[in-house]
């Protein structure tokens, strides 16, 4: 059992932070890796990339958006309560090195994932610019931490309620036009990562993305997380979750995610009808 030591509701309660006691995972985990969590015996297995780790305290931090039955169950857990299972660290860690000028782009809860990567790239001596975005000011997360983890910091909101009025891609394009950038790391919603890659491909800048493919076992056995990378089938859980963005078939990834959401909606509707009938 894995105890929740800290709990914080963010972004108007739609995003929740948990700091969890998991000493063996915290000792080995590196930026970019993820864990699979299960709240209880009947709960669903949910993969989440770690937002932070503290080997000395023996803790890992996850940040998740509340979107369905399982994440609502997670949200119900309070400090002192425990997750039944936390498995990890899983996936390949981010390849970190000093390359020069780097831009880290985070959207939505992807900011939680890109934070430890941004911090590590800065610690290695890179000149790091960070861009984070959300639909509106109230949905922004980890603003102070991302600012501290970078040399230059930009905020975007779709509705113009804070920072740049518009998408993160507009700020990124402006930077690429003015400066020589060696690497872009982008993590967030699939459409955001897709259009970041379209822009960086024009400027021939290497781009790394983290793919949120559907996962079940996290060991490459089930095949649910398969993605097409440069025309080859890869498994996000063991070959990723990070890949060279210009090789990713984002359209296929989007179709697979939409198919899952459609099936989940049908299942939820059937469940609701059954409850009414009962």
Average pLDDT over residues 85-95: 94
Q: Which helix (H) or strand (E) holds 90?
A: strand 85-90
pLDDT band at 98; cut points 50, 70, 90 = very high
CA distances to 126, 219, 234, 242, 265 from 88, in Å:
29, 10, 20, 16, 29
What pLDDT score does 220 carry? 83
Measured distance CA(42)–CA(38) in Å, rounded: 8
Average pLDDT over residues 70-95: 94
What pLDDT score does 261 carry? 59
Average pLDDT over residues 23-33: 95
CA distances to 48, 67, 265, 268 from 275, in Å:
30, 21, 15, 11
For the ranges 111-120, 125-134, 212-221, 228-237, which has the lowest average pLDDT? Answer: 212-221
pLDDT in tens, 157-206: 999 999 999 999 999 999 999 999 999 999 999 999 999 999 999 999 99
CB distance 242 to 187 below 8 Å: no
Domains observed in the chain: 2-88 (2.40.30.10), 101-210 (3.40.50.80), 213-278 (no CATH)
pLDDT in tens, 221-263: 888 889 999 999 999 999 999 999 999 999 999 998 887 654 4
Is pLDDT at 264 greater than 50 in this prediction?
no
pLDDT band at 211; cut points 50, 70, 90 = very high
- pTM equals 0.88
Average pLDDT over residues 2-12: 94
Tokens 């009414």 map to which residue? 276
pLDDT band at 273; cut points 50, 70, 90 = very low
Kindly report the average pLDDT of the chain as a whole number: 91
**Alpha helices (runs of H) in the chain, residue ranges in sequence order:** 23-28, 69-76, 110-123, 143-148, 168-178, 190-202, 250-277
Measured distance CA(122)–CA(155) in Å, rounded: 18
Q: Name 102's Cβ contacts closer than 8 Å, sequence gap at least 6.
A: 121, 126, 127, 128, 129, 181, 182, 183, 184, 185
Measured distance CA(84)–CA(106) in Å, rounded: 30
Is pLDDT at 86 greater than 70 in this prediction?
yes
């Amino acid at each position: 059992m894995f105890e929740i030591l800290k709990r914080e509701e963010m972004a108007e309660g739609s995003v929740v932070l948990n700091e969890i006691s998991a000493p063996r995972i915290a000792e080995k985990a590196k930026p970019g890796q993820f864990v699979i969590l299960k709240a209880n015996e009947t709960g669903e297995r949910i993969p989440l990339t770690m937002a932070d780790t503290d080997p000395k305290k023996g803790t890992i931090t996850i940040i998740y958006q509340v979107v369905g039955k399982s994440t609502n169950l997670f949200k119900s857990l309070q400090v002192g309560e425990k997750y039944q299972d936390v498995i990890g660290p899983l996936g390949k860690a981010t390849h970190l090195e000093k390359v020069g000028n780097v831009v880290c782009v985070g959207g939505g809860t992807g900011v939680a994932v890109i934070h430890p990567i941004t911090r590590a790239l800065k610690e290695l001596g890179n000149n790091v610019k960070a861009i984070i975005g959300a639909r509106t000011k109230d949905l922004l997360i980890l603003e102070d931490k991302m600012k501290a983890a970078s040399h230059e910091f930009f905020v975007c909101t779709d509705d113009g309620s804070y920072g740049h009025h518009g998408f993160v891609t507009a700020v990124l394009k402006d930077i690429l036009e003015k400066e020589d950038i060696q690497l872009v790391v982008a993590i967030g919603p699939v459409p955001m990562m897709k259009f970041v890659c379209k822009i960086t491909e024009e400027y021939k800048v290497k781009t790394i993305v983290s793919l949120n493919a559907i996962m079940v076992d996290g060991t490459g056995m089930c095949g649910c997380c398969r993605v097409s990378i440069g025309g080859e089938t890869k498994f996000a859980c063991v070959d990723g979750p990070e890949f060279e963005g210009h090789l990713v078939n984002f359209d296929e990834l989007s179709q697979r995610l939409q198919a899952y959401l459609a099936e989940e909606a049908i299942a939820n509707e059937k469940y609701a009808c059954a409850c009414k009938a009962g």
